[in-house]
Structure 1
Amino acid sequence: MRNHHRFAVVTGASSGIGVAYAERMAERGYDLILIARRRDRLEDVAKRITTKATRAVEIVTADLADAKDLSRIEALITEREDIDVLINNAGLGALGPTSQVTADALENLIKINILALTRLTHAALPGFLRRNSGTIINIASMIAVMPTPSGAGYSGSKAYVLNFTRSLQMELAKTSIIIQAVLPGPVRTEFFEASGLAAAPFPNELFMSAEQLVDTALQALDQGELVCFPSLENASLWTGFEDARIALSRALMQSGRPATRYLEKAQ
Structure 2
Amino acid sequence: METKDSFAVVTGASQGLGKAFAESLAKKKINIILVSLPGQNLKELSLRIAELYHIKTYYYEVDLSVNENVLKLTDWLNKFFDIYILINNAGLGGTGKFLDATSDYINNILQVNIAATSLMTHQLLPNLLKQPQAYILNVSSMAAFSPIGFKTVYPASKTFIHSFSRGLNEELRDTNVFVSVVNPGAMKTNPDVVSRIEKRGFLGRLTLSSRIKLRNIVLISF
Please report the TM-score for the alignment, with normalisation by the length of structure 2.
0.88
Is the counterpart of residue 71 in structure 1 residue 71 in structure 2? yes
Q: Report the Cα distance in structure 1 between the residues aligned to 2:110 and 2:68, rounded to whole angstroms.
A: 16
Secondary structure in 2 matching 1:187: coil
Report what 2:209 is aligned to.
208
What is the correspondence of 1:33-182 to structure 2 with a 5 Å cutoff?
33-131=33-131, 133-182=133-182
Aligned residue pairs, count: 217
Report what 1:23 is aligned to.
23
Q: Deviations over 1:38-86 (max 9, x none)?
A: 3551123123312321011101111111233212112123334521111
Secondary structure in 2 matching 1:115: helix
Q: Report the Cα distance in structure 1 between the residues aligned to 2:105 and 2:165, rounded to whole angstroms.
A: 24
What is the correspondence of 1:182-201 to structure 2 with a 5 Å cutoff?
182-190=182-190, 193=192, 197=196, 199-201=198-200
- Counterpart contact for 1:23–1:49, Cα < 8 Å: yes
Bigger CA radius of gyration: 1
C-alpha change, 1:99 and 1:164, in structure 2 (3 Å) is same
Secondary structure in 2 matching 1:143: helix
Q: Give 1:175 shift.
A: 1.7
Q: Report the Cα distance in structure 2 between the residues aligned to 1:86 and 1:200, rounded to whole angstroms.
A: 34
- Bigger relative contact order, structure 1 or 2 (CA pairs below 8 A, ≥6 apart): 2
- Counterpart contact for 1:143–1:155, Cα < 8 Å: yes
Structure 2 portions without partners, runs of 5+ = none
Q: Report the Cα distance in structure 1 between the residues aligned to 2:20 and 2:115, rounded to whole angstroms.
A: 23
C-alpha change, 1:42 and 1:210, in structure 2 (3 Å) is farther
Q: Report the Cα distance in structure 2 between the residues aligned to 1:165 and 1:200, rounded to whole angstroms.
A: 32
- Counterpart contact for 2:7–2:83, Cα < 8 Å: yes
Q: Report the Cα distance in structure 1 between the residues aligned to 2:162 and 2:146, rounded to whole angstroms.
A: 12
- Counterpart contact for 1:92–1:113, Cα < 8 Å: yes
The percentage of aligned residue pairs carrying the same residue is 29
C-alpha change, 1:182 and 1:63, in structure 2 (3 Å) is same
Structure 1 portions without partners, runs of 5+ = 228-267
- What's the C-alpha RMSD, in Å, of the aligned pairs? 2.5
Q: Report the Cα distance in structure 2 between the residues aligned to 1:48 and 1:200, rounded to whole angstroms.
A: 35
Please report the TM-score for the alignment, with normalisation by the length of structure 1.
0.74
C-alpha change, 1:48 and 1:215, in structure 2 (3 Å) is farther
Is the counterpart of residue 7 in structure 1 residue 7 in structure 2? yes
Secondary structure in 1 matching 2:130: helix
Q: Report the Cα distance in structure 1 between the residues aligned to 2:159 and 2:212, rounded to whole angstroms.
A: 24
Letter in 2 for 1:226: S
